[in-house]
Structure 1
Amino acid sequence: MLKLLYKAITNPIIGPIVVSSIGIVFLSLFYMPKLSAQNQQERVIGETTKIISLLKHSRAYYTDNVVNKIEKKSNLHINFDHKTDENTVPLPATTIHDLSDILTKSDNVHASFYSNYPFPNRSSRVLDSFQKDSIEFLTKNPDKIFSKSDIIDGKNVYRVATADILTSQTCVNCHNTRADSPKTDWRLHDVRGVLEVYVPISDHFMLSREQIWYVILFIGLVVLTFSLHYGILYFKREKELINTASILENEIQKRTKDLHESNQFLLEYKKAVDASAIVSKSDLFGNIIYVNDAFCKISGFSRDELMGQPHNIVRSPDVEKSFYKEVWKTIKSKNIFKGIIKNRTKNGDSYYVAATIIPILDEDGEILEYLSLRYEITELINAKDRALSAERTKSTFLANMSHEIRTPLNAIIGFSDILCESNLNRDEKEYAKIISRSAKSLLGIINDVLDISKIESGKLDISESAFSFGLFSEHIVELFSIVAKEKNIRFIYKTTPALPHTLVFDSTRLQQVVSNLLSNSIKFTPEGGSVFFDISLLDISNTHAKIKFSIKDSGIGMSKEQQKIVFEPFSQADDGISRKYGGTGLGLAICSDIVKLMGSRIDLSSELGHGSEFSFVLDLRIEESKEQNETKKSKLLFGVCKNEDDSEYLRVCVKNYLLQLGNVVETEDFTQDVDMIFCFDEDKAIEFKKKRDSIKTVYVGDKAKIKDPASKTYFDYFIDLPIYSSKIVNIIHDNSKAQSQKAISDATNKKFNANILVAEDNPNNQRLIDILLSNLGITATIVGNGQEAIDVYKKIKFDMLLMDVNMPELDGVSATKEILKLQRENSLHKVPIIALTANSISGDREKYLEAGMDDYISKPIELNKLIEIIEKYLYKNRDFHTLNVQSTDNNEGFEVYKKSDVMKQLGLNESTVDMLLESFFLTLDDDLSRLQSTIDAKDANAIKSAAHYIKSSCSNLAMNEAAKLLGEIEASATKGETNADITKIKSIFYTIKNGLMS
């Protein structure tokens, strides 16, 4: 509202009118009524004071000329009761009262005389508020007038009062001598009462002559101001109109000239478009109404043959009708169509055009016609087809190359690994290891080349799945700690204890990136140097964690120029580095592209001769399991010695890991009662050991740096860099369970009862697979091609088929389809078929699964992956070597628990598994009691939740029989059933626990 008023006031046209109107309204509604009221008050005061003065003069005259004579010459009495007594004349005051009554009979003037003295003739009078206030005011201010507006009998009146003063000595004497006087000490100039006159107030304006002239002058001034203002505006606007007209005339001339030039340009543009584009126009029904020469030339039709014909005249029969329906749908909705169209010429030849079809609209927005602009792209399309053909040829070449190289590598790696484990002498084993390492190095180069190919073709995918982040990082550290130690490099590993347990991501690709960066740091760091691997938590929420991976080394470093090309394929810092350190120059390029696919980037900070730091940040999704969140710490108390120099984060890392396992105190008090002490200083550790010999002492640091070799006898355990959880857990386990029986963990001790058919054409690979499967207790039937596999399958029942893809006569995919057909036609039992191939091109796995195969193993075959596949598809048929534990009546028919199952399933060492089992059995009684309580309460949902909770822990710890029974209870509860018996489950746990303790 204020903005609108401001705009109106500042407007040069309506502003003066608005301001003047506001001023006139203000005068009319506020100032003039107020002025009129003041004038009336002044008039009334003047009139009433005259009346009061006349009344006073009349009383004075009566007193001097009547009363005195009566007193001297007559026997008449002077009193207030003259109306009832014939011999009495009125007092002067009574005369005033009488005159007031006479005046009051007029409608316009009302007079009265009153006081607050108790005169007998006025003793019954009741004064109103004005009269009381006037007496009080005038008694104090006899020379002033007391006036006020009031309402009497519903009329607006103005009341004026003046003091009645004793001005005559005669009056003073009379008042003092009369018996009815209220007092006898009257003096001259005393106020004996108040004379009041009030008259009605009229509603009309009352202005003086002077005021009327002021109003007339104000109105005249406003009119004069308006005249001047709008006169100035008029002449100003006239001048502006003349200038505007001149400008418009010049603009019209300019526009006319521009329009003429534009027409010329349009003609030139039309020539350019006609020379390069195929132009046509059609009516609302698609009939041609215009074509240029280029259209006629490419189509082979003359202009006369095209005019009036539908555009179908150049439509290629190879294009689906639905395509043109979409085109019409687009342009009829007033949208522009853009796309590639295949057309045909008059003689039937095909050509391609990149077409843009534009609806031309009239001023009402309705379609008038359609304009089509086309550019011939036949050569471009042909070039694209050739490129796709070349890409397919490249993919085929890479697949064949992968197969041809991987197939002999499979035999080389497999047999060299077998030789390494055989009874060879030391030199022969070293030769076998050299063969294995060389073959694996060659395999890594092949994988890099294939990864680059996938990245270039956009076929490298990120496949997410849940994985244990702690095991993931420790596995990498364990792997590279060996390499770093061989090169005498200080490998420092630091991590944040608050990192989530389970994350969802592509752990394989993440491991590929981290491993490559660590491998490079170790490779380019000279002996005696250091490599720092830091995993830090930057931010965390309920669903995501932002984690930074940093690998820093003290190696050769890079210059600014070298850093610019280090992430390019087939590039290294310089040729000298390639010759000295080897490598293809693909690793960092692949890592950079993978990290980009992960939504991040690799940052590089380096200085020539002073090392390099590679880092990247990933936002990873968290998937926490209930068991992990409820893991309980042990009651052990660990002591950690204070370390003044902790530049390698030894104390921080040890303390963080120990806090996850028990309670920690930092101390220099060698009398502290702890279960185990961790020291970082040789002298402090020895001092502690001398005072508390019974407490196990762990020296954390480089054992080679101990000054006195004899000092080593004071230490019970040593932890060298890098520090990670498993090292500490192993030491604690050795200290607390040194006498416990060790379970078998070697994968080669795992046995299966199975019969597997292997289709493989390479004799070396046939023998290798036969040896691997035999070591696993599996009976293998090996054939050389797909047709032989079909023939043998018809005669013998197998538990699984390992099917090589590339084989002579009949390949593995064709053989699989034939076997699946036999299964359908003869209602045979479904047998898992696993693709066994050296191909490693993106999309192979999907192709094999689409053909009916169940899974995929890439060559060279890794024993662990082979075992995983066998466990996955032959789970019910496996029969492992077991611990010798005593059976009871309740556990007959149970699969006896084996700790090595957990170690292999989770990829953990024995001590870590022991810790997990200890934590599981620590809370098991409470968990089983809770389950029994839910069964007793007949609460199906609670039964389902409690059974699922224990089942999850059992599955993680390979307690398969218990997990199976708990799963049955969970399934029954899902259906609403509440009757369950956990006696058998308790017996299984009892047997497992006794077996572990025996």
Structure 2
Amino acid sequence: MSLIAGGAPLPLILDAIVRGVEADHPDMVCSILLLDASGQHLLHGAAPNLPAVYTQAIDGVAIGPSAGSCGTAAYTGRRIVVADIQTDPLWDAFKHLARDAGLASCWSEPILGAGNRLLGTFAMYHRTVREPTADDLGDILAAAHLAAIAIERKEALDALAISQVRAERATADAQVLSRDFETLFTVSQDLLSIVDADGILINLNPSWETVLGYPQGRLIGTSFFDLLHPDDVESAVAVSPRLQVSGEAHYSVTRCRCADGTYKHIEFRVRASDHRVFCVGRDVTEHIQAEADLRAAKAEAEAANRAKSDFLANMSHEVRTPLNGVIGIVDALARTELSSAQREMVTLIQGSGSTLERLVSDFLDVSKVEAGRLELEIREFDLEEVLRGVLEIARIRADAKGLAFRVDYGPTARGLLQGDSVRIRQILDNLLSNAVKFTSDGEVSVRIEVLEGATPDDPTGLSVEVRDTGVGFDSTTATPFERFSQTDKTITRRFGGTGLGLTIVKALVEAMGGEIHAESQPGAGAVFSIVIPLARSLTLADYDQRLGRSLAPGPVNDVLGGIDTDRPLRILLAEDNPTNQKVVDLLLAPFGVELTIVENGELAVQAFTENPFDLVLMDMQMPVMDGLAATQAIRDYERNSPERARVPIAMLSANAMEHHRLAAAKAGADLHIAKPVTALALLAGIEHALATTPRDEAPVSNSA
């Protein structure tokens, strides 16, 4: 400090620092390396007792993550302790130098100036393998601080040549630093203080007044614990004895009382030495408040998201219920004799109803994607049966526009697979709908393959490629999978749509662990390809030999006709909405079904216990007793009535969310049919429910 105050040359000061530390540690040699102007290398500063060959070899060493103790300390900005140079990978490039110089261990401290600016490193070398003691670490830290003072003062003095004002300021700062080391407190915005073993404040810097509002002199001599919030005193007092024993730094956040009586959160870093505790505090009140605000905002957002999901579920039910009436009645009307004008109007209504139903489903799916609540139902399915209906609908759409439609199956694209068949149909339907919609002339083609793994019966995934000759888009700049996005704003006006279809497709594919890609050029059509990992549940050889593969439902008019009964099919319908009652009645009337209608779940249970039925169609939401409770009651009745066989139950519901389907299955329903219900969906659902009922559990007097 005397040399610094006296304006001695920097090399002399650094040499004195090194010799001073070595005097206290005769078994060690020390060095100071300085950061060069580029900030990439370390240059010789002082090392009076290191071998000259070693000093010359490391002069100009590049800093880095594995550059010995000093180069690594400069790179990381933290102390590096290497107890055994010959075994530590940080020294791989310098082991021979250390061995030749007789150096076994090295501890290096980065020399940091104001604002943690790297100035160089201070190193202590030992000729034996060893770890540093607490005193060693204290000395190396003190030496680095002194070196920092000297280096920064040298920089300040060098600046005198540029500006006399700056020179006077640097000289004044140097004089202050040389008079009293404690004046370093004044340059810190943190709360710096020294406390004795009893917690009495010995010294503190002006930041205490800036942050807490107390004049410096008012707090000196008072107890540090008196400033703490009463709830934080006990933990702070408990830490004090441990600090004196361990000598380790301790971190904590405590509340300190301000001069105006309010409290601020202060993050303290404290360390004890020689029966004193050195404290560095930082005001983190705003940070903690920001975290609290963030947590509150997150909770509010989650609550809003739950409310949105509940709202969407309710809206789904409210929209689908009247929509079911519209679509169902129009579907039944279309099966009657109509004039050409009437049939045209019915067809338009059917198309609009189908579009509206699709929009409702798309918005629900997008909401589930955003909430991270998109769930999959993994079940066994027959690939050809699952895709047949989607492909046939796409063919009809293509024929209506005068487009060629081609489907190519790969040689192994068949069999029983494990996956969510409903979502796979949805993916293909969206891709085909887009292809047909955006193609005015030409062709839409589909290529379906099952990619095999190491053996023919070890598939790696389902591959689907949809290709069209439509309007296309620039795949290098467009984002077709972004929600509410269409590549050209005129697309919406020309072709309609919400821009949600491909967003849903991408989310579904990725939820299944698959990938989707798009290639296109404006005016040259588009190609969408997906690969979804699936597993076979039956080998191809066994699948091809299995009997009874022709289980796919036939045309609508043949569905119920294919069920072998010696009497009319007896169906119990539980539905509180008169319009929906009429819809089901109209759809089933042409098949001679014996339909019993009740308006709530309680009446459904009563009717079931009093009369035999082949099938129950159960609405989910009804007054008195809802469909879930009624289904559970029917299943309980069956378990307690051995003479009554299990009857299939199909749940009709405007609640289309995944948890509604799961709730229906848990209650005992065999099938969930989402509203609005079309003739095809209703009849296919009835056939499926009856066909999947085991023969030995089939209703008495019904061979179906």
Alignment of 1:564-713 (within 5 A): 564-625=478-539, 628=542, 631=545
Residue 535 (structure 1) aligned with residue 448 (structure 2): yes
Which of 549, 554, 573 is residue 469 of structure 2 equivalent to?
554
Deviates more, 1:763-772 or 1:618-627: 618-627
What secondary structure sits across from 1:571 in the alignment?
Answer: coil
Supply the distance in 1 between the matched residues of 2:210 and 2:637 (Cα, whole angstroms). 62
Give the letter aligned to residue 510 of structure 2. K
Supply the distance in 1 between the matched residues of 2:183 and 2:416 (Cα, whole angstroms). 68
Supply the distance in 2 between the matched residues of 1:446 and 1:804 (Cα, whole angstroms). 19
Alignment of 1:171-570 (within 5 A): 239-240=52-53, 256-258=146-148, 271=189, 304=225, 375-376=288-289, 377-527=291-441, 529-536=442-449, 538-541=451-454, 542-560=457-475, 564-570=478-484
Supply the distance in 1 between the matched residues of 2:406 and 2:437 (Cα, whole angstroms). 16
Supply the distance in 2 between the matched residues of 1:245 and 1:530 (Cα, whole angstroms). 73
Which of 1 and 2 has greater Rg?
A: 1
Supply the distance in 1 between the matched residues of 2:183 and 2:507 (Cα, whole angstroms). 49
- Conserved in 2, the CA contact under 8 Å of 1:558 and 1:607? yes
Which of 571, 579, 588 is residue 764 of structure 1 equivalent to?
579
Structure 1 residues 418 and 402, CA gap change in structure 2 (3 angstroms): same
Supply the distance in 1 between the matched residues of 2:385 and 2:653 (Cα, whole angstroms). 29
Q: Which has the higher contact order (CA 8 A, sep 6+)?
A: 2
Alignment of 1:723-762 (within 5 A): 745-748=558-561, 750=563, 753-754=569-570, 756-760=572-576, 762=577
Structure 1 residues 465 and 312, CA gap change in structure 2 (3 angstroms): farther
Give the letter aligned to residue 551 of structure 1. V
- Conserved in 2, the CA contact under 8 Å of 1:857 and 1:866? no
Deviation at 1:424, TM superposition (A): 3.0
- Conserved in 1, the CA contact under 8 Å of 2:574 and 2:598? yes
Deviation at 1:745, TM superposition (A): 3.6
Give the letter aligned to residue 383 of structure 1. A
- Conserved in 1, the CA contact under 8 Å of 2:415 and 2:540? no
Deviation at 1:410, TM superposition (A): 1.0
Structure 1 residues 270 and 406, CA gap change in structure 2 (3 angstroms): farther
**Identity score, percent:** 27
- Conserved in 1, the CA contact under 8 Å of 2:480 and 2:502? yes
Deviation at 1:811, TM superposition (A): 5.8
Which of 657, 679, 693 is residue 841 of structure 1 equivalent to?
657
- Conserved in 2, the CA contact under 8 Å of 1:817 and 1:852? yes
Deviation at 1:626, TM superposition (A): 7.4
Deviation at 1:865, TM superposition (A): 1.7
Deviation at 1:453, TM superposition (A): 0.8
Supply the distance in 2 between the matched residues of 1:306 and 1:844 (Cα, whole angstroms). 57
Gaps of 5+ in 2: 1-48, 61-69, 71-110, 112-119, 123-142, 153-180, 198-207, 214-222, 236-247, 258-262, 274-278
- Conserved in 1, the CA contact under 8 Å of 2:635 and 2:668? no
Supply the distance in 1 between the matched residues of 2:300 and 2:473 (Cα, whole angstroms). 41
Match of 2:621 in 1: 806
Supply the distance in 1 between the matched residues of 2:479 and 2:58 (Cα, whole angstroms). 66
Match of 2:12 in 1: none
Deviation at 1:488, TM superposition (A): 2.1
Deviation at 1:451, TM superposition (A): 0.9
- Conserved in 2, the CA contact under 8 Å of 1:816 and 1:852? no
Deviation at 1:446, TM superposition (A): 0.9
Supply the distance in 2 between the matched residues of 1:467 and 1:443 (Cα, whole angstroms). 25
Supply the distance in 1 between the matched residues of 2:188 and 2:665 (Cα, whole angstroms). 57
Structure 1 residues 781 and 433, CA gap change in structure 2 (3 angstroms): same
Give the letter aligned to residue 533 of structure 1. V
Give the letter aligned to residue 312 of structure 2. L
Give the letter aligned to residue 148 of structure 2. D
Greater share of helix = 1
Alignment of 1:47-66 (within 5 A): none
Deviation at 1:872, TM superposition (A): 4.4
Give the letter aligned to residue 585 of structure 2. D
Deviates more, 1:516-525 or 1:529-538: 529-538
Structure 1 residues 261 and 383, CA gap change in structure 2 (3 angstroms): farther
For residues 647-669 of structure 1, what are the alpha-carbon distances to aligned partners after superposition, in whole Å with 9 as ceiling and x for unaligned?
xxxxxxxxxxxxxxxxxxxxxxx
Q: Give the TM-score of the pair, scaled to structure 2.
A: 0.56
Supply the distance in 1 between the matched residues of 2:338 and 2:647 (Cα, whole angstroms). 40
Supply the distance in 2 between the matched residues of 1:571 and 1:754 (Cα, whole angstroms). 49
Supply the distance in 2 between the matched residues of 1:813 and 1:358 (Cα, whole angstroms). 63
Give the letter aligned to residue 258 of structure 1. A
Supply the distance in 2 between the matched residues of 1:269 and 1:865 (Cα, whole angstroms). 79
Gaps of 5+ in 1: 1-235, 276-280, 284-291, 315-333, 346-350, 363-368, 634-724, 731-741, 882-894, 896-900, 902-998
Supply the distance in 2 between the matched residues of 1:766 and 1:412 (Cα, whole angstroms). 12
What secondary structure sits across from 2:390 in the alignment?
Answer: helix
Deviation at 1:764, TM superposition (A): 0.5
What secondary structure sits across from 1:756 in the alignment?
Answer: strand
Supply the distance in 2 between the matched residues of 1:484 and 1:257 (Cα, whole angstroms). 82
Q: Give the TM-score of the pair, scaled to structure 1.
A: 0.41
- Conserved in 2, the CA contact under 8 Å of 1:786 and 1:812? yes
Give the letter aligned to residue 257 of structure 1. A
What secondary structure sits across from 2:532 in the alignment?
Answer: strand
Aligned residues: 491
Structure 1 residues 850 and 361, CA gap change in structure 2 (3 angstroms): farther
Supply the distance in 1 between the matched residues of 2:618 and 2:424 (Cα, whole angstroms). 30
Residue 869 (structure 1) aligned with residue 689 (structure 2): yes
Deviation at 1:525, TM superposition (A): 1.6
- Conserved in 2, the CA contact under 8 Å of 1:539 and 1:547? no
Give the letter aligned to residue 859 of structure 1. K
Give the letter aligned to residue 868 of structure 1. H
- Conserved in 2, the CA contact under 8 Å of 1:849 and 1:855? yes
What secondary structure sits across from 1:534 in the alignment?
Answer: strand
- Conserved in 2, the CA contact under 8 Å of 1:518 and 1:551? yes
- Conserved in 2, the CA contact under 8 Å of 1:549 and 1:615? yes
Structure 1 residues 437 and 878, CA gap change in structure 2 (3 angstroms): farther
Residue 780 (structure 1) aligned with residue 593 (structure 2): no
